[in-house]
Structure 1
Amino acid sequence: MDLDEILLEAEEAMDKALDYLKGELRGVRTGRASTGLVDYIKVEYYGSPTDLRQLAIISVPEPTQLLIKPFDATSSGEIVKAIEKSGLGLNPVNEGKQIRLSLPALSGERRQQLVASVKQMGEQAKVTIRNARRDANKHIDQAGKDKSNPVPEDAVDATKDDVQELTKKYEGQVDQAVEAKVKEVQEI
């Protein structure tokens, strides 16, 4: 494996960690209603867990309300059960052909819990990014020691520096995403 490949793989792994974090942050509840809050709730549909967004149209008719219109009206009961089990603390109201979710205002204590949760998600993303850096450095060292295909020591050092720059870049993006979400959660 040459050094450019190692660098590319490290960047892909870091990018995946950032994308995963952004997806997780969309599901964190803030003071406003957002379809991202329930998009990925798993609903038991004909024996297999399916994302809610694949079973219904989710809209935001008011800033503190979500409206879920299932494609198959018979799945309403299962959707209600899934929302209740999701741990979001929401009480769905089944209106037959649609389900209404009212989002109550967040208490100060709940906001602090959400902020802590968001920061924890950010730390997990950083750990994943640092693991990608560690793996890349290990591969770079192996490439440097490979006698059959020698790599100059300066190239090994330069590639390690590039990996470190990537790590700093992605950690900065994680910090920005976490900071934005914290600000959103604390907004009243």
Structure 2
Amino acid sequence: MPDDPIQDILDEADEEMEESVSYMRSELRTIRAGRASPAMLENVTVEYYGSQTPLEQVASVSAPQPDLIVVQPFDRNAIENIERGIMKADLGLNPNNDGEKIRIPIPPLSEERRKELVETSRERAEETKISIRNIRRDAKNEIQNVVEAENFSEDVLYGAEEDLQDITDAHTETVEGLLEQKTEQIMDV
């Protein structure tokens, strides 16, 4: 079939764009939205037996209340290192250690801080859109090369470019939707 290599290019571009969107989702999860969320501590590392270890490997993290995160260490001896790791992560949080658990109260966000977080979210969305456009550009070049190499008609080229644009538009809409959701979460008082 003449459009197999083109379909492969389109599928690959779709996968790469989806990876960009997934990365954005994970980035947005770490941005605080006023409510306590275990995802806020995703990037925290703890010194555990001499090596930096992700927090989720040394403790369970939960958010039993909208304004509280509880960290339950698997090893009680690591509780001080976990507390240090949380403070070192510079998240603006003050962990309270009671000897068994670490409770982290989540203070309400000021209006100014909310606007900063919305701006950070917008930046992440824009980075993702740029990534999607770069993937589209690369895929478009690959399609043009295949069309020239295989002597396909220009109709095949235009059809493939339309399909590529549809894929791009779908992922861009997803990014916009995610940004809108995150903005609502952040601005919700």
Q: The TM-score by the shorter chain falls in which range?
A: over 0.9
Partner of 2:84: 81
CA contact (8 A) 1:2 1:143 kept: yes
Partner of 1:173: 174
Task: Measure how far apart 1:19 and its partner are.
Answer: 0.7
1:136 equivalent to 2:139? Answer: yes
Instruction: Report the AA paired with residue 159 of structure 1.
Output: A
Partner of 1:39: 42
- TM-score using structure 1 length: 0.93
- TM-score using structure 2 length: 0.92
CA contact (8 A) 1:25 1:181 kept: yes
Partner of 1:8: 11
Matches of 1:108 and 1:50 in 2, distance apart?
A: 34
Partner of 1:17: 20
Task: Measure how far apart 1:85 and its partner are.
Answer: 2.0
Task: Measure how far apart 1:82 and its partner are.
Answer: 1.9
Instruction: Report the AA paired with residue 78 of structure 2.
Output: S
Please list every run of 5 or more consecutive structure 1 residues that lacks an aligned counterpart in the other structure. none
Task: Measure how far apart 1:74 and its partner are.
Answer: 2.2
Q: How many residues align?
A: 186
Indicate the percent of aligned positions where both proteins have the same amino acid.
Answer: 37
Matches of 1:159 and 1:78 in 2, distance apart?
A: 55
Matches of 1:150 and 1:55 in 2, distance apart?
A: 58
Matches of 1:12 and 1:49 in 2, distance apart?
A: 32
Displacement over 3 Å in runs of 4+:
46-49
Matches of 2:13 and 2:22 in 1, distance apart?
A: 14
Task: Measure how far apart 1:59 and its partner are.
Answer: 1.2
Matches of 1:31 and 1:121 in 2, distance apart?
A: 18
Structure 1 residue matching 2:85: 3-state secondary structure: helix
Please list every run of 5 or more consecutive structure 2 residues that lacks an aligned counterpart in the other structure. none
Instruction: Give the 3 Å change call, closer, same or farther, for CA 69–3 of structure 1 in structure 2.
Output: same
Question: Which one of the candidate residues 111, 122, 140 is aligned to 2:114?
Answer: 111
Q: Higher mean Cα deviation, 89-98 or 5-14?
A: 89-98
